[in-house]
Structure 1
């Protein structure tokens, strides 16, 4: 009896020692080499995934082995009429499929993602069918993706399913190369235009990132998929529905601190703006921004994430005429 009581107390102590305050509503961190779950919070909760969708779009496009040098004309039908998001890609521009893919992944451009689906073999319906097949092949049983951008909140999944998508995406060198570039010049109608990665941690000193994709719509909150190397481990993290960019970055920082065995989580004031970070020799430091509620674990443990035990020549694509 005393042994059982001692074991229960010891287990309780170890779990509370690893409790991390997270702003994201769903969190899953998995060690890539072993499949061991390092951190988990609401990993089975189905939620909108916003532009994380574009990793699936990229895989399906690359699977089709289309000519990446073929020029795609950005059509008026590619313009976002759902969320009215902005784009620096003008309608009528002729851009290589390779660069359109880069725009969709690195700078998360919605017109680019829509153009990739529109010019897929069989058009948008062919694209949707290919996505359904890919979802089934990856065993993403809680995932529905209805369109290529993530603007539709009906694109939904779980953190558990999205780790599967991340692991699959990491096997495409084109995707890992594009998503880990901090910036790139894209030729648009003969003019070089600079685009930047939507993940501010890409290229930051102290971060070794192998895959990255951010996402945001109001229904999904701030989302992130990222593969990192830290503390001698390769790990994939999925963060869904953080309330602000600052919370999303703080969550990523706390995950890296946990993996490397650093003592305490970073706690800073939340803000609707992303925090500024200064690179140091060992890690990035957060500067608190505007005032707001502190991100911290509640007494009931709802905002805590606990460490858990391991479980087992160029061609032009013509516009499609509406019938």
Structure 2
């Protein structure tokens, strides 16, 4: 009876210690916006969300996809930054925000890209769409194909500008997915989103993202506004090695979209952190190899492993390496042989392939026979 009571007391103490070590996280702020989401850019972990899957008109946030596709074409070498783009009458006539190009002008691709990103120019967006795909309509098809490839399941684009149109819809979650792709896939062009001004034809226009002036951690991304969409802002910021992406849509003013975004980012940076569990070069342990020139091989992970955790919660992380049976030569560097499962407070937060860290060639005949004999003998002692 005493032993049983003592064991129960130990369990109770252990549970209380675990609770005491668990970081305290208050409820997230409630924003004056129709929908919003906060995401860790490294891991994709959602920290805060409200109506993130509600379809909304994206307004000029659409131009994030326009610029992404242009960056893709530039990276592939299909087009070049100094290619001269002829400005059509359709591009020139388009209303709304403008870069102020003229019909018949020939403008470098890179200038038009800045016109899209910094000045939110509808004229620049159409000009690039026509240059890349021949027409804005065909370009919209490419936008939708790219959205599907990214997993933006609730998005449909009708044009390259965000001009109001039936069926031109997205969600806060899908916009966060697009923002991650912008940052991770095209870092050199993503730098354009932090530029505060762009001068063209003698007209110097400021970036409409107020947070570029207010918060040095913010380096993008894009504003949007129409009567139906309200005032919207997709923002990204970096502090202490953590990059957050926020999407705030449907606020009632330019000032409000900035202020509400600041609340969301401040909450994320205050209470969470991006923690690197393993690097792709880390050897986690060595495993026996049968029939190989080498008797053992290092086991690593296929990529850097990041997790999003409450700030100060590193001690609550537990990682398990699971090997899929015995290893037999030959083995190729990078070959998957199992997985690493990372848990936080008992919940799986990462599941990545475990791979061999180097090649292991097959041994000669006599070594293979000898290993077979050893395996056979050892099987009786398992």
- TM-score greater than 0.5 by the shorter chain: yes
Q: 1 CA distance for matches of 2:38 and 2:97?
A: 32
Q: Which structure 1 residue ranges, 4+ long, deviate > 6 Å from structure 2?
A: 309-312
Which residue matches 1:74? 87
Which residue matches 1:247? 256
Report whether the alignment pairs 1:196 with 2:206: yes
Q: CA deviation at 1:231?
A: 5.5
Preserved CA contact (<8 Å) 1:120 1:126: no
Which residue matches 2:222? 213
Q: 1 CA distance for matches of 2:164 and 2:129?
A: 15
Which residue matches 1:109? 121
Relative to structure 1, the CA distance from residue 310 to residue 236 in structure 2 (aligned partners, 3 Å threshold; closer, same or farther) is: farther
RMSD: 2.6
Preserved CA contact (<8 Å) 1:230 1:260: yes
Relative to structure 1, the CA distance from residue 260 to residue 169 in structure 2 (aligned partners, 3 Å threshold; closer, same or farther) is: closer
Which residue matches 1:96? 108
* 171-180 or 39-48, which deviates more: 171-180
Preserved CA contact (<8 Å) 1:23 1:251: yes
Q: CA deviation at 1:232?
A: 4.7
Q: 2 CA distance for matches of 1:233 and 1:117?
A: 34
Q: 1 CA distance for matches of 2:126 and 2:175?
A: 21
Report whether the alignment pairs 1:46 with 2:55: yes
Q: CA deviation at 1:79?
A: 4.0
Q: 2 CA distance for matches of 1:167 and 1:226?
A: 11
Preserved CA contact (<8 Å) 1:87 1:110: yes
TM-score (norm 1): 0.70
Of Structure 1 and Structure 2, which has the larger fraction of its residues in helix?
2
Q: 2 CA distance for matches of 1:218 and 1:80?
A: 21
Residue of structure 1 aligned with 2:175, choices 162, 165, 168 = 162
Point out where structure 2 has 5 or more consecutive residues left out of the alignment.
1-11, 13-18, 272-346, 351-382
TM-score (norm 2): 0.59
Preserved CA contact (<8 Å) 2:99 2:124: no
Preserved CA contact (<8 Å) 1:230 1:256: no
Higher RCO structure (Cα 8 Å, ≥6 apart): 1
Which residue matches 2:197? 183
Alignment size in residue pairs: 248
* 99-108 or 147-156, which deviates more: 147-156
Q: 2 CA distance for matches of 1:128 and 1:259?
A: 34
Point out where structure 1 has 5 or more consecutive residues left out of the alignment.
4-9, 263-308, 313-323
Preserved CA contact (<8 Å) 2:233 2:258: no
Q: Rg: which structure is higher?
A: 2
Preserved CA contact (<8 Å) 1:231 1:259: no
Residue of structure 2 aligned with 1:138, choices 132, 146, 150 = 150
Relative to structure 1, the CA distance from residue 57 to residue 88 in structure 2 (aligned partners, 3 Å threshold; closer, same or farther) is: closer
Which residue matches 1:268? none
Residue of structure 1 aligned with 2:67, choices 51, 58, 71 = 58
